[in-house]
Amino acid sequence: MIGQIIKVIKLLGLSRAVRMKRHHDRGLRYVRGYAACCCWWALLNEGILDKLAMQGRIDWPAFLQTYQGDKKVLEAVVEYLDGIGLLEQQNNTLKLSPDGRVLMAEPRGLLELLWAYEPCLGNLAELLQSKKKYGRDLERRITFVGQGSGRLCEQLPYPVMRRMILEQGSKMVLDLGCGDMALLSGLCRMNAEIRGHGIDNSAEMVQFDRNQLSQNDYGGRLTVQQGDMFHLPQLPRELPPVDCIAACDTFHEYLQDQQRLVELLKQLKQRFTQVRFVIGEFCLQDAAWLKRHKTAALEHHLFHQLSGQQIGSAPQWRRIFREASLEIVAEQVYDVIGHGYFALR
**Which positions lie near ligand SAM, rule CB under 6 A?**
142, 145-146, 149-150, 153, 176-179, 183, 199-202, 205, 228-230, 248-250, 253
Report the length, in residues, of the chain.
345
- Please, what is the minimum distance in Å from the beta carbon of residue 198 to ligand SAM? 8
Residue number, 43 or 264, with CB nearest to ligand SAM: 264
User: By C-alpha distance, which of 231, 211, 237, 213 is closest to 223?
Assistant: 213
Residue number, 127 or 199, with CB nearest to ligand SAM: 199
- Please, what is the minimum distance in Å from the beta carbon of residue 4 to ligand SAM? 52
- Please, what is the minimum distance in Å from the beta carbon of residue 145 to ligand SAM? 5
Rg from Cα positions in the chain: 24
Residue number, 52 or 200, with CB nearest to ligand SAM: 200
- Please, what is the minimum distance in Å from the beta carbon of residue 238 to ligand SAM? 21
User: By C-alpha distance, which of 120, 116, 92, 107 is closest to 49?
Assistant: 107
- Please, what is the minimum distance in Å from the beta carbon of residue 268 to ligand SAM? 12
- 228 DSSP β-pair partners: 231
User: By C-alpha distance, which of 278, 228, 227, 279 is closest to 249?
Assistant: 279
Dist CA 208 CA 190 (whole Å): 23
- 87 DSSP β-pair partners: 96
Residue number, 200 or 217, with CB nearest to ligand SAM: 200
Residue number, 49 or 181, with CB nearest to ligand SAM: 181
Residue number, 80 or 334, with CB nearest to ligand SAM: 334
Dist CA 130 CA 147 (whole Å): 30
User: By C-alpha distance, which of 145, 146, 77, 152 is closest to 108?
Assistant: 152
- Please, what is the minimum distance in Å from the beta carbon of residue 143 to ligand SAM? 9
Dist CA 159 CA 169 (whole Å): 15
